[in-house]
């Protein structure tokens, strides 16, 4: 199982402002978009295209809806190495991904770097 710090660092390195799958107002959350880009949770899924893109709303509601959509919870959708972490952790990771101001053309913006540090402070020692 990957640690939360490993997942945080992977997420920070995985995106730029143009390589994120983002929430579209008309279609809801896209775990993987038409360009093949995945959101933060989608990147860690076994098969993001198999999950219905019907969880409309912010990161709290979309991650929570995914967690409650299966009797096995969010872990049932995740690759084994990403399983075992709380829904609250995934909400924070997805929130980092979803905020446009956290990203620039080369990766994290200054604001995004600050958010990463807050997430590490919150989850890094658990």
**3-state DSSP of 20-89:** CCCCECCCECCCECCCCCECCCHHHECCHHHCCCCCCCCHHHHHHHHHHCCCCCHHHHECHHHCCCCHHH
Q: Which two tokens stand for residue 124?
A: 């890094």
What is the per-residue pLDDT for 57?
A: 55
pLDDT at residue 22 in the model: 57
Say what the pLDDT of residue 39 is.
Answer: 86
Give the domain ranges of the chain. 4-123
> What is the block-wise mean pLDDT of the chain (126 residues), using blocks of 10 residues?
95 83 54 82 89 59 82 93 96 89 90 96 82
Write down the pTM of the prediction: 0.85
Residue for token digits 């991904």?
97
pLDDT reported for residue 77: 93
pLDDT of residue 15: 86
The pLDDT value given to residue 25: 45
């Amino acid at each position: 199982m990957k640690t939360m710090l490993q997942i945080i660092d992977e997420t920070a390195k995985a995106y730029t402002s143009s390589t994120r799958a983002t929430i579209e107002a008309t279609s809801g959350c896209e775990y993987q978009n038409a360009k093949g880009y995945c959101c933060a949770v989608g990147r860690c899924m076994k098969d993001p295209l198999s999950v219905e893109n019907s969880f409309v709303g912010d990161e709290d509601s979309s991650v929570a809806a995914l967690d409650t959509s299966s009797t096995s919870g969010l872990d049932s959708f995740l690759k084994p190495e990403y399983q075992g972490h709380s829904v609250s952790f995934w909400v924070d990771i997805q929130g980092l991904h979803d905020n446009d101001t956290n990203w620039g053309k080369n990766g994290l913006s200054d604001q995004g770097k600050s958010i990463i540090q807050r997430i590490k402070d919150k989850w890094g020692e658990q």
